[in-house]
Amino acid sequence: MVTGGSSGIGRALVRSYAANGARVVAVARSEEGLAATAAGLAAGRVSTVAADLTTETGRRAVATRVAHLGGTLDVVVHAAGALGPVGPQAALARYPADAWYEVFEVNCSAVHFLHQQVAPALGRGVAPAVIAVSSTVGRSGRGEWGMYSISKRALEGWLEVLADEWPGRVYSVNPGGTRTAMRAAALPEEDPNTLPSPEDIMPLFLRLAHQAAPEPSGAKLDARDWIGRDPWQGLREGGDQ
């Protein structure tokens, strides 16, 4: 399952996993965006759920779809995210209250409460894994990134606790600067042609979804380290990718 599957890194994840043989549940608010994500993929590879994960109704809709599809998840990737204000207007002394709550809800609270809904399905999975898309400004707080930075730091802490108490595999992946609409909104003066595309950073996400991935639970990894590399490098020969 991939959240945020209607655009950007989430869309690339859905398409990459499906192209490599997975059956994927793609979740996002935009039904139109999800349809565009699934377009052209093999029939039956992608099941879409249009849902607002900041609501109990939306999270239950996802869990219900998973149950209808057999009730088992091997991998959940939390790629949905909200940016909120950045730059001088995001200084903590003036950060707006509505954006504060909204960004935290999307980037952290929704992840936690969705996990509660799907944990039983993950418990039935094969070498189950939770992968969350973090951020450079989540690894180290940065001024004028406001709640985006704070919420990603909180997400890192949530992953640490989960890795300590849950028997499955837990990974934090920092994509680094990537050519997405969110990145363009945050840094409009940046030349997008200097950045890797979402498709470029897929190797590490593919690798971590493999049941034989050797990376230890709790690892904090950087997707850029795997650009251009074989995601199956060093994995058990003959393993199901």
pLDDT tens-digit readout, 77-117? 999 999 999 999 999 999 999 999 999 999 999 999 999 99
Catalytic annotation, pick one of 17, 95, 101, 148: 148
- Whole-number pLDDT of residue 235: 87
- Whole-number pLDDT of residue 236: 58
Q: Is 148 a catalytic residue?
A: yes
* Contact present, 104 and 156 (Cβ < 8 Å): no
Q: Convert the pLDDT of each residue in 41-54 to its tens digit.
A: 998 999 999 999 99
Give the residue from 167, 147, 144, 118 showing the smallest Cα distance to 1. 118
Q: Is the predicted pLDDT of residue 61 greater than 50, yes or no?
A: yes
C-alpha to C-alpha distances, 93 to 82, 99, 106, 124, nearest whole angstrom: 20, 14, 22, 46
Q: How confident is the model at residue 140 (pLDDT cuts 50, 70, 90)?
A: very high
User: Containing H/E element for 171?
Assistant: strand 169-174
Q: Is the predicted pLDDT of residue 237 greater than 90, yes or no?
A: no
Amino acid of residue 36: A
C-alpha to C-alpha distances, 70 to 14, 42, 86, 125, nearest whole angstrom: 19, 19, 42, 11
Tokens 């399952």 sit on residue: 1
Between CA 21 and CA 145 the distance in angstroms is: 37
Tell me the two tokens of residue 88. Answer: 């001088």
pTM of structure = 0.95
Q: Convert the pLDDT of each residue in 200-234 to its tens digit.
A: 999 999 999 999 999 999 999 999 999 999 999 98
Give Rg (Cα) of the chain: 17
Task: Give the whole-number percent of the chain exceeding pLDDT 90.
Answer: 96
Query: Within 10 A of 229 (CB to CB), how many other CB atoms are there?
Result: 11
